[in-house]
Amino acid sequence: MKKITIDIYTDTICPWCYIGLSKLKSAMLDFSSCKYELTWRPFQLNPDMPSMGMYRQKYLDIKFNGKETAKKTYKNIYQEGIKNNIYFQFDKILITPNSFISHKLLALAHKLKKQTEIIETLFYEYFIEGTDIGNIKELIRISKQHDIYTNDTLRYLESSKDSEKLLAEETHARELGIKGVPCFIINKELVLYGAQDKINFINIFKSTFNER
């Protein structure tokens, strides 16, 4: 079976990334002639976020310069989410976290081939349950839930191991011209920005399949 690789630059607190994942999964199910290999790569939307995160309302006031703009923006996201069977619960989110440690958990999951499972749970926990995914205790719980927890997991998340590598990866993305997420790179060649419609993914998968 032919293989299609998909590198996805994402942030775990990006609602459009959650929507993009839903559309991508639907496209892969509809075009099952290929084997898909997904790799989730780090891209922090708020790289200067304090390590303990920020109260959600304060974050929205700073980012959108007022409640009305924020309300309009998230209304549009909410409506798009419903179309993809995602029912965002933005009111449950009290803290906008620093997402870097969650990217470290994804790096750990990559080694164990469970990245997509983990990121789906991170999205669900944050956007549906309002969980602070910048909290190490919550990340440990998620790691146990997916059977990737070991006695070294806490030490790894608290350490600087792989941190420079992840930051370098993000820097490289920005140098490539990636300014926002999600960003999908198909077979290291084709680049798609944003939460693409399912049909766009399918057309590219078909084209790639026929070329190889």
What's this model's pTM, rounded to 2 decimal places?
Answer: 0.95
Over its C-alpha atoms, the chain yields an Rg (Å, rounded) of 17
- In sequence order, the β-bridge partners of residue 38 are 6
pLDDT value at residue 210: 78
pLDDT value at residue 69: 87
Low-confidence ranges of the chain (pLDDT < 50): none
pLDDT value at residue 76: 95
pLDDT value at residue 212: 55
The DSSP code for 134 is: T
Q: Are strands 35-42 and 54-55 parallel, antiparallel or unpaired?
A: unpaired
How many residues appear in the chain? 212
pLDDT value at residue 211: 65
Other beta carbons within 10 angstroms of residue 115's beta carbon come to: 20
